Amino acid sequence: MKPRAEGFAFHVLCNDPRTHARRSVLRTPHGDVDLPTFMPVGTQGSVKGLSMDEVASTGAKIVLGNTYHLWLRPGEDAVARHGGLHRFTKWPHAMLTDSGGFQAFSLGGHRDGRDKLVTPNEDGFRFKSHLDGAEKFLSPEIAVEVQGKIGADIQMQLDVCPPGDSPREVVEAAVKQTSRWAKRALSTPRPPKQALFGIVQGACFADLRKAHADELGAMPFDGLALGGFSVGEPKEKMFATIEEVAHTLDPERPRYLMGVGTPEDLLACVGFGVDMFDCVLPTRNARNGQALTRNGKVIIKNSKHARDDSPLDPECACACCARGYSRAYLRHLYIAGEMLVLRLLTLHNLHFFGELMAGARAAIEAGDYASYAKAALSRMRGGESDTVGTALV
Ligand SMILES: [Zn+2]
């Protein structure tokens, strides 16, 4: 089933012969997005530390905005008054907003006597603003209305995301409720030039995931997402489930894996058939003094960089590396608490993620994605970290 919203189209240009990776293009009212792609996260209408021009300079063609944060402040009506989030933030390319549910639940959700978050009821759920404690209510309809006013190109439906260690019956109930909420989201009016993606749940139960993917795939969503990963489940289980499920999502629509995004995750999951990613990792790690490079992680505060005149990555064309800022200078800025280093590392990390995905697209076009992913993973293992995963490529 093809995307239906006005101004949208999705074309698969080629499929990798040995993996489920595919090279495709998502047409939106704000331009074409080459897939697979990574979406930088602009939580409060800003990718932290950068102007939208700088974000665009990293090669990004789509960013993600968080509905929860924008809804609470400055409010969807304020964003709409200024012409929507594109105009408000001066972002010229495509934009996607989440439903707000994940953060409303995790940041403002009610907790029971055992400090467990209370499950949403059928209608929606109440939560308290983490800013001022005000009571708010979120439902599938409200999520569509709020995102409609914020005005991104792509909306996400409100879903129910159980913790990663939930028992099967809890996950089954969440899947069923997400389906009912999917129908309610689809029957809520939204601007014609806004797409709506459905969200497949099912934790690490691959059979539940596949059945849910089929159910949502029969609904007129413009794209399908895999939600509810990276919420506390073991990484090997997450990879095994995504490997089994991602390629079963309708091939005629974009497939978006929500909130999962180490470089190793991206390389593995592109091979499993995922087209779109988002994660705070490159921007958050930058603010913690970590650069991600094709040779692995660089922890800039480490003393080994104090006399190092070389850039983070001599092969990188980002504004930081191409200008020749040395590791020694970046380390000095970091130790001195200068904000410039956080901006430079953010520019570098987003550029690196963009390049990683551009390389993936080229490799798929050349018909050998597996070799590209394998070579990229093996280079990354040389970094200053012991956390490089054993991605299943
Ligand atoms: Zn760089």
- Answer for the pair 374, 393: CB distance below 8 angstroms, yes or no: yes
Confidence label for 85 from pLDDT (cuts 50, 70 and 90): very high
Output the average pLDDT for the chain.
Answer: 94
Mean pLDDT along residues 140-158: 98
Provide the CA 206 distance to its chain's centre, in angstroms.
Answer: 21
pLDDT grade for 127, boundaries at 50, 70 and 90: confident
- Sign, Cα dihedral of 203, 204, 205, 207: positive
Q: Is 356 in contact with 266 (CB distance < 8 Å)? A: yes
pLDDT of residue 111: 64
What pTM does this model have?
Answer: 0.95
What pLDDT is attached to residue 108?
67
Q: Which residue is catalytic, options 98, 153, 265, 313? A: 98
Give the helix, strand, coil percentages of the chain, each rounded to 5. Answer: 40, 20, 40
How far from each other are the two terminal CA atoms of the chain, in whole angstroms?
29
- For the chain, give the number of residues: 393
CA atoms within 13 A on the CB side of 250: 26
Peptide bond into 192 cis (omega under 30): no
| Res 153 pLDDT > 90 | yes
Omega of the bond leading into 162 within 30 degrees of 0 (cis): no
- In single-letter form, the type of residue at position 306 comes to A
Q: Which residues surround ligand 1, an ion (CB under 5 A)?
A: 316, 318, 320-321, 348
Q: How far apart are CA 219 and CA 294, in angstroms?
A: 40
**Cβ atoms of 40 and 350 closer than 8 Å:** yes
Residue 212 Cα, ligand 1 centroid: separation in angstroms?
40
* Residues 10 and 254: beta-carbon distance below 8 Å: yes
- Out of 222, 265, 278, 313, the active site residue is 278
| CA–CA dist 329, 379 (Å, integer) | 25
Residue 120 clears pLDDT 80, i.e. is over it: no
CB burial of residue 223 (10 Å; 0-12, 13-18, 19+): buried
* 70 in Cβ contact with 150 (< 8 Å): yes
Is position 98 annotated as part of the catalytic site?
yes
**Rounded distance between C-alpha atoms, residue 215 and residue 241, angstroms:** 18
Identify whether 278 is a catalytic site residue: yes
CA of 16 to the centre of ligand 1 (A): 28
**Which pLDDT score, from 0 to 100, does residue 332 have?**
98
pLDDT of residue 336: 98
